[in-house]
Structure 1
Amino acid sequence: MIRMLLRVLGHEYARPVRRTVALMTTTAVVEGLSYALLVPVLRALFGSTPADAGPWLIAFGAVVAVYAALRFRSDLSGFRVGTTLLRGMYHRLGGHLARLPIGWYDARRVGQVSVLASEGVLQAMSVIAHLLAPFVSACVTPLTIVVVMLAVNAQMGLAALVAVPVVAGIQIWTGRSMAATDTERAERGQEATGRVIEYLQAQPVLRAGGRTAERFRLLDDSLREVQRASRRTVLSALSGTLGLTLTVQAMFTVLLVLGAYLALGGGIGAAEVLTILVLAARCADPLLSLSDIGGRVRGARSELARLDTVLRTEPLPEAPEPIQPVGHDLEFASVAFRHGDRTVIDEVSLSVPEGQRLAVVGPSGAGKSTLLQLLARFYDVAAGAVRVGGVDVRSIDAEVLMAQIAIVFQDVYLFDGTIEENVRLGRPDADDAEVRAAASAARLDEVIERLPGGWAANVGEGGALLSGGERQRVSIARALLKNAPIVLLDEVTSALDPVNEAAVHEGIERLMAGRTVVMVAHRLRTVQRADRIVFLDGGRIVAEGSHDELLRRGGRYADFWNISLAPAHTQP
C-alpha cells in the first residue's frame, strides 16, 4: 500500500510518509508495552501488600501520558502529510491530464476521471490522515501485547500467538475475495455517474422527444446495478467479519479455559491469569476493528490503483532539447493520422506562408478539424511532420508552441466565473486597458453593457448563462488579448444567428489581421477572402487554389459553392 502510494505520488514524498509511518508504529508499540505495567499492578493488588501498587500505577500513568503525546504527534503528522499529499496529488494529476492526447478523453474516460478527481483522490489520500494510524495500531498493538503475554506466561502467550497467522490469513483471504466485487462496484458507480450526467445534459432533447420516462428507466437500471454490486460487496465482507469475530472470541475462550486450568493446577497465580485476560481483551478491540479498517484501506488501494493507471498513461513525448521556432509559417509534410483503425488524414502536404490565410473546406468527417488539432499538437501524427516556423511541433516545448497559437472553436467552453476572468485567460497579466480593448474589438462590450453585472456578470458553468453568439465573442476577445501570431478558427460562425454572425465576423477579421491563419468553415462565404483554399475529402486534398480559381476549374469546390448559394436563389 505504501509502495503504491509513493509510486503514485512520486518519491519526493517518501521521507515524510516513512517518518509518519515510523511514528505511528512507535506509538502502537508504546501502547502495547504500557499494558505490561498491568502485571506488577495486579500482582500487588492481589498480593498481601496492595499499597505496593502505587509506584506501578504512577509509572503506568507516565507511560500512558507518553503514549498520549506520541498519539497526538502521530495523528497531527498524519493530517499534515495527508494534506500535503492531497495537494501534491491534485497538482500531479492535473499536470498529467494536461499532457495527455485529446483523443484519450472519450466519453467513458471523462466520467471516470470526474469521479476519480473528486471522490477517488480524497479517498486515496485519506489513508495517511485517517486510516493509517488505526490500521497500524490494529496490527502492531495486538502483536506487542502477545509479546507481553509470552513474557508473563509462555504457555498462554503461545496460545495467543496461534491466533496471529489465523487473523492474518482471514484478512488476506477477505481482501482477495473482495477484490473483484470492489472493482465491479467502482465500475458500476462510474457508469451510474455517467448516466446521471447524461440525463441532466440531455433534458432539452428528452423533453422535446417525450422520452423522459424511458431515460428514467435507464438511470434506474444503472442505479440498481450499483445497489446489486454494493450488496455483493457487503456479502463478500461478511464472511471475513464473521471469521475474524469468531477467531477473536475463540482465542479469548481458549485463554480463559487454559488460564483456569493452569491456576487450578498451581502453575500460575490468579493475578497473572487476570492480567493475561485483561491483555487479551485489549487485543480484541483493535483486531475486531480490522474488518472495517481493512475494507476502507482496500477501497483506498483500489482508488490508488486507478490513479496509478491514469498516471501511467503515456503523455505526448517531450523533446529533450526543445527547439525555438523561427517565424510563423506552417507546413504539413506528408502527414498521416489514424484514429483507431480509421485513417483520418492521409498523405496531406501543404504550407501556409507567414501572414497568409488558409481556408479548409469539405464535407463532414473529412478531417478538417483534425488538421487544426495536429497543428496545436493535441495529437501526434502517425507519419510525416507538422512544422511551425520550420520546426517540427514535436520538437517545440509545449508552452512555447501554445504561446504561438490562438484557437477559437465552434463549441466554446467558458469557466464558471465572470466575463472578465474568462477573457483574461488569454493573457492573465494584461492590464485593464488591454482587456477592454480586446472586448471592444470583439464587440463583447455590447454584451457587457446589457448584462446586469457588466464585467462581473457570471457566465455559469460552461458559459450556460450566455447565448452561443455571446460565448463566441468572449472566445474571440480572449484570443485577441492573447495576441498570438498564429490563429486557428474552427467553424466559429456555423451555428450563429445573422446579428451575432455579423458581430463575430467583425471580431474575427480584427483577430486575423496580420497573422498566419488556418480556418475551417462549412459556410463557404466566410472563406472567399482567404489567400488559399484546400478542399479536403476522405482525409486527402482533392482541390486547392484561390476562390476564383476553384470556381473556374469546377469540381467539388464549385459544387459545394453552388449548393451553398441554392437556398438564396430559391427564396421568393
Structure 2
Amino acid sequence: MISTLLRVLGPDYARPVRRTIALMTTTAVAEGLSYALLVPVLTALLGSDPGGAWPWLATFGAAVAAYAALRYRADRSGFTTASILLHGTYRRLGDHLARLPVGWFHGARVGEVSVLASSGVLQVLSVIAHLLAPFVTACVTPLTIVAVMLAVNWRLGLAALAAAPVVVAIQVWTGRSMAAHDAERAERAHEASGRVIEYLQAQPVLRAGGRTGERFGLLDDSLREIQRVSRRTVLSALPGAVALTLVVQVVFTVLLVLSAYLALGGGTGAAEVLAVLVLAARCADPLLSLSDMGGKLRGARSELVRLETLLSTEPLPEPRHPVRPGRHDLELDSVTFRHGDHPVLDGVSLSVREGQRLAVVGPSGAGKSTVLQLLARFYDVDAGAVRVGGVDVRAVDPEVLMARIAIVFQEVYLFDGTIEENVRLGRPDAGGTEVRAAAAAARLDEVVARLPDGWATNVGEGGARLSGGERQRVAIARALLKDAPIVLLDEVTSALDPANEAAVHEGVERLLAGRTVVLVAHRLRTVHRADHIAFLADGRIVEQGSHEELLRRGGRYAEFWHLSTATASGQPPVSSGRSSAGSPRRDRSR
C-alpha cells in the first residue's frame, strides 16, 4: 500500500515516508527489547536476593523512557509526514482534475470525486498518521519478543514462533475473502453520496410537486443497499477475527502447558517460566489488534486504488513544442466529434475572421454549445482540426490558449466569496480602478450599489444569493476585466427578465466590441448584428451566410427567424408554405 501511495505521489515523497517507517520499526523493536528486561527483573525478584532486582529495574525504567521518546518522535513523524502527503495529494489531485476533459465530469462522477477528495483522501492519509505505527508495532514487537523468548528458552520460543505463519495465513485469507465485499461497500457508498447530492439538488422540483413529506425512493434504496452490504461485510469478517483470536489463545495455552511441564520437570526455573509467560501475554494484544487494523487498511487501500485510477485518467495531451498563435481568427476544419457512441458534430467547417462575429444557431441538441467547447479545447476532436490564428489548438499551450479566450456561459457559476473576488478571477492582478471600470461596463455597479455590503457582499455557493441576471453581470464584468481578444458567448439572456436582459445586452455589446466572437444564440433576434451566421442541425451545417442572405433564401434559418419573432410578439407563427420573406420554404431534410 505504501508503494502504491508513493507511486501515486512520485519519488519526491519517498524519503520522509521511508524515514518514518524506519523510525516506527526502531520504536517497535525498542518496545520488544524493553520487555526482555522483565526476564532478569523477575529472576532477581523470585530468587534468593530480591534486592538484586534494583539495577535491573533502573535499566528497565531507562529502557521504557527511551522507548517513550522514540514513540513520541515516531508518532510526530507520522503526523508530519501525513500532513506533507495530504498537501501533495490535494495538489496533485487538483492539478490533474484541472487538466481532464470537461466531458469527464458527468453527473455520476460528482459524488465520486466529492467523496474521494474529502473522506477518501483523509482515509488514505490516516494510515500514515494513525494506523502505520500500530500496524508496525503489531508486526515487529511480537517478533522481537519471540526472538527474546528463543534466547531465554528455545523450546518455548519455537512454540511461540509456530504461530507466526498461522497468523499470516489468517490475515491473507481474510483479506482475500473481504476484498469483494469491501469493493462493493465502497461502490455503494459512492452511489449513495451521489444520491444525496441528487436529493439536495432536486429539492425545488420535489417541493414544487408537493412531495416534501415523501421520502426520496432512490436515496432510500441506496441507503438500504449500504446497510445490506455493510451487514454482509461484518458477517464475512467474523470468521477471520474469531480464527485470529482462537490461534492467539491456543498458542498462549500451549505455552502455559509447556511451561508448566518444563517447570515441573525441573528443566526450567519458575522465574524463567513466569517471565516467558509475561512476554507471551505482551504478544497477544498487538496480534489481536491486527484484525481491526486489517479492515481499516483494506478500506484505505480501496480508496487509494480509486485515487490511483483517477490520477491515471489521461488528460488532454500537451504539445511538446507549443506554438503561439500570431492572430485571433478561428476555424473549425471538417470537425467530427462524438460523446461515446453518440455523434454530436459531423464534418463541420466554420471560420470567423479576426475582429468579426460568428453566430451559431439551430434547434436544441444540434451541437451549438459543443462548438464553443471545442474552440476552448474542453475536448479534442475525433477528426478534423480546430485552429486559432491558423494554429491547431492541440499545438498551443493550454494556458496560452485560455489567456486569449473569455467565455460567458448561459449557466454562470460563482465561487463562494465576495462580488469583487469573483470579478477578479478574470485578472487577479487588476487594480481597483480596472475592476470598477469593468463592473460599470457590465452595469454590475448598479447591483453593487443596492446591496448593503456593496463589493464585500458574499454571493454564496454557486452565486445562490444573487439573481440570474446579477450573476450574468458578474460573469460579463469578469470577462471584460480579462480583456481577452476572443470571446465565446453562450446565449446569456434566454432566462432573464426584461430589465436584466437589457442591462446584460448592453454589457455584452461592450464585451464584444473589437473582438473575435463566436456567439451561440437561442433567441434569434440577438444575432442579426453578426457578420456571419451558421445554422446547425443534427451536427451538420445546413446553411450559412449573413442575416439578410439567409432570410432571402427562405430556408431553415428564415423559418426559425419568423417563428422566433412571432413568438416574441405574441402572434401565432406563420403556417403558410412560404416564409414571410416571400421565398418558398425548402425541404426541411436538407
TM range (shorter): over 0.9
Q: Is the CA contact (8 Å cut-off) linking 1:199 and 1:215 kept in structure 2?
A: no
Shift of 1:200: 1.3
Q: What whole-Å deviation, never above 9, does each CA across 1:182-228 have from its counterpart, x for those lacking one?
A: 11111111111111111111111112223445552332222111111
Structure 1's unaligned 5+ residue stretches are: none
Q: What whole-Å deviation, never above 9, does each CA across 1:314-340 have from its counterpart, x for those lacking one?
A: 010111111111111111111111111
Q: Which residue of 2 aligns with 1:429?
A: 429
CA separation in 1, counterparts of 2:165 and 2:14? 30
CA separation in 1, counterparts of 2:391 and 2:215? 50
CA separation in 1, counterparts of 2:482 and 2:137? 56
Shift of 1:232: 1.4
TM-score of the pair, normalised by structure 2: 0.95
Letter in 2 for 1:77: S
Q: Is the CA contact (8 Å cut-off) linking 1:323 and 1:397 kept in structure 2?
A: yes
Q: Which residue of 2 aligns with 1:513?
A: 513
Q: Which residue of 2 aligns with 1:209?
A: 209
* Match runs of 1:76-475 below 5 Å: 76-212=76-212, 215-475=215-475
Letter in 2 for 1:367: G
Query: Equivalent residue of 1:536, what SS?
Result: strand
* Structure 1 pair 344–467 and aligned structure 2 pair: CA distance change class (3 A): same
CA separation in 2, counterparts of 1:341 and 1:214? 38
What's the Cα RMSD here? 1.1
Letter in 2 for 1:259: S
Letter in 1 for 2:473: R
CA separation in 1, counterparts of 2:339 and 2:216? 34
1:11 matches 2:11? yes
CA separation in 2, counterparts of 1:310 and 1:216? 30
CA separation in 1, counterparts of 2:271 and 2:103? 72
CA separation in 2, counterparts of 1:138 and 1:45? 29
Q: Which residue of 2 aligns with 1:549?
A: 549
Letter in 2 for 1:62: A
* Structure 1 pair 444–306 and aligned structure 2 pair: CA distance change class (3 A): same
Letter in 2 for 1:499: A
CA separation in 1, counterparts of 2:101 and 2:215? 32
CA separation in 2, counterparts of 1:224 and 1:136? 37
Letter in 1 for 2:516: T
CA separation in 2, counterparts of 1:295 and 1:491? 52
Query: Equivalent residue of 1:98, what SS?
Result: helix
CA separation in 2, counterparts of 1:143 and 1:469? 69
Q: Is the CA contact (8 Å cut-off) linking 2:373 and 2:379 kept in structure 1?
A: yes
CA separation in 1, counterparts of 2:195 and 2:211? 15
1:74 matches 2:83? no
Query: Equivalent residue of 2:472, what SS?
Result: helix
Q: Which residue of 1 aligns with 2:29?
A: 29
CA separation in 1, counterparts of 2:72 and 2:287? 22
CA separation in 1, counterparts of 2:503 and 2:512? 14
Letter in 2 for 1:439: A
Query: Equivalent residue of 2:149, what SS?
Result: helix
Q: Is the CA contact (8 Å cut-off) linking 1:438 and 1:478 kept in structure 2?
A: yes
Letter in 2 for 1:563: L
Q: Is the CA contact (8 Å cut-off) linking 2:101 and 2:316 kept in structure 1?
A: yes
Q: Which moved more, 1:363-372 or 1:174-183?
A: 174-183
CA separation in 2, counterparts of 1:279 and 1:315? 55
Letter in 2 for 1:410: Q
CA separation in 1, counterparts of 2:11 and 2:548? 62
Query: Equivalent residue of 2:99, what SS?
Result: coil
Letter in 2 for 1:518: V
Q: What whole-Å deviation, never above 9, does each CA across 1:139-182 have from its counterpart, x for those lacking one?
A: 11001111111111111101001110111111111111111111
Q: Which residue of 1 aligns with 2:479?
A: 479
CA separation in 2, counterparts of 1:57 and 1:513? 88
CA separation in 2, counterparts of 1:201 and 1:465? 16
* Structure 1 pair 568–424 and aligned structure 2 pair: CA distance change class (3 A): closer
Q: Is the CA contact (8 Å cut-off) linking 2:525 and 2:565 kept in structure 1?
A: no
- What is the percentage of aligned positions where both structures have the same residue? 78
Shift of 1:244: 1.1
Shift of 1:534: 0.5
Alignment: residue pair count: 572
TM-score of the pair, normalised by structure 1: 0.98
* Structure 1 pair 552–408 and aligned structure 2 pair: CA distance change class (3 A): same
* Structure 1 pair 65–569 and aligned structure 2 pair: CA distance change class (3 A): closer
Structure 2's unaligned 5+ residue stretches are: 573-590
Letter in 1 for 2:521: A
Query: Equivalent residue of 1:320, what SS?
Result: coil
Shift of 1:248: 1.0
Q: What whole-Å deviation, never above 9, does each CA across 1:404-455 have from its counterpart, x for those lacking one?
A: 0000000000111111111111111111111111111000111111112111
Q: What whole-Å deviation, never above 9, does each CA across 1:364-407 have from its counterpart, x for those lacking one?
A: 11111001000111000001111111111111111111000000
Q: Which moved more, 1:213-222 or 1:491-500?
A: 213-222
CA separation in 2, counterparts of 1:299 and 1:471? 42
* Structure 1 pair 355–246 and aligned structure 2 pair: CA distance change class (3 A): same
* Structure 1 pair 568–365 and aligned structure 2 pair: CA distance change class (3 A): closer
Q: Is the CA contact (8 Å cut-off) linking 1:329 and 1:390 kept in structure 2?
A: yes
CA separation in 1, counterparts of 2:409 and 2:89? 31
Q: Is the CA contact (8 Å cut-off) linking 2:424 and 2:430 kept in structure 1?
A: yes
Q: Is the CA contact (8 Å cut-off) linking 2:416 and 2:462 kept in structure 1?
A: yes
List 4+ stretches of structure 1 deviating above 3 A. 211-215, 568-572
Letter in 2 for 1:366: A
Shift of 1:54: 1.5
Query: Equivalent residue of 1:415, what SS?
Result: coil
Q: Is the CA contact (8 Å cut-off) linking 2:426 and 2:482 kept in structure 1?
A: yes
CA separation in 1, counterparts of 2:459 and 2:440? 18
CA separation in 2, counterparts of 1:63 and 1:226? 48
* Structure 1 pair 423–493 and aligned structure 2 pair: CA distance change class (3 A): same
CA separation in 2, counterparts of 1:167 and 1:296? 18
CA separation in 2, counterparts of 1:138 and 1:567? 76
Q: Is the CA contact (8 Å cut-off) linking 2:195 and 2:222 kept in structure 1?
A: yes
Q: What whole-Å deviation, never above 9, does each CA across 1:35-60 have from its counterpart, x for those lacking one?
A: 11111111111111112211111111
CA separation in 2, counterparts of 1:289 and 1:45? 32
CA separation in 1, counterparts of 2:117 and 2:206? 29
Letter in 1 for 2:524: L
Q: Which residue of 1 aligns with 2:65?
A: 65
Q: What whole-Å deviation, never above 9, does each CA across 1:104-151 have from its counterpart, x for those lacking one?
A: 111111110011001001111111111100110011100111111111
* Structure 1 pair 569–79 and aligned structure 2 pair: CA distance change class (3 A): closer
Letter in 2 for 1:75: D
Letter in 1 for 2:255: L
Query: Equivalent residue of 2:321, what SS?
Result: coil
Q: Which residue of 1 aligns with 2:583?
A: none
CA separation in 2, counterparts of 1:446 and 1:433? 16
Letter in 2 for 1:80: T
Q: Is the CA contact (8 Å cut-off) linking 2:327 and 2:354 kept in structure 1?
A: yes
CA separation in 2, counterparts of 1:300 and 1:143? 25
CA separation in 2, counterparts of 1:219 and 1:522? 35
Letter in 2 for 1:480: L
